[in-house]
Structure 1
């Protein structure tokens, strides 16, 4: 998808219709990322609304010349989702998990393909080494911290950081080709 610079500029100038169009363009992809982190439809919908409020409120801080808009809003969505999972209310809501939650968690652990297809990067992810796919899935789609990802993969933290940098460099090379 080509970056809609005219809509972004219009939104930065307070155009609510442009903002609404951007919401329509990006909300489904952002919802997929948010849901992969919070694993709850209602919470994901609330976080999505919070994300778009942050996008509107902070739109002037985005610079078209310094990076892609989707990357900027993806980071807002990811960070807001992670903040939500760390909140006291979220933790309290997860204390009494039912068995259906565990089924959802099991299903969602293999949903990288659906998520990456939703945002149009599946072909790039497929070109990576399996170790890179796992690292990117944990860190960027499931919201793991580097410490937690290193524990999950049973590798030292320094090794994870090095592999992550290498994987992102490889992904950048593939995308920018």
Structure 2
């Protein structure tokens, strides 16, 4: 076991705007990463593909000007930078751990799997949105897809249900 702890690991953590991914990162920092280890922590944010709007036959589609598209892209980039900055701040107390950040775009299921492979990650850490079976059937589950398709261990951290009540 001591031999395994000495190995330098590359741990990929998928982050997004949700509390679930930040909880997973926090849990990983407390339970997986040692402050003085030589691990590399790769934080990955995936921007979803932009929806395509056209007005080919005039049946109610939308045609956005380049100004609006540029504004939408800028907003998407700002959100990505904000999420990654928040995640990096959570890692500030790590001493010898190298923290890398990556922002990519595409279907999160595919991008996370590809990045896990490309980085040679030893572990993938992700939050769970906790969708029920019906919502998961319609939306798909990024974490389920990754568990099925990556070669390394996948740690899915579920955020505990809040015990606070609104009075």
TM-score (norm 2): 0.30
Larger Rg: 2
Q: Which has the higher strand share?
A: 2
Q: Which has the higher helix share?
A: 1
Between the two structures, name the one with larger relative contact order (CA 8 Å, sep ≥ 6). Answer: 2
TM-score (norm 1): 0.29
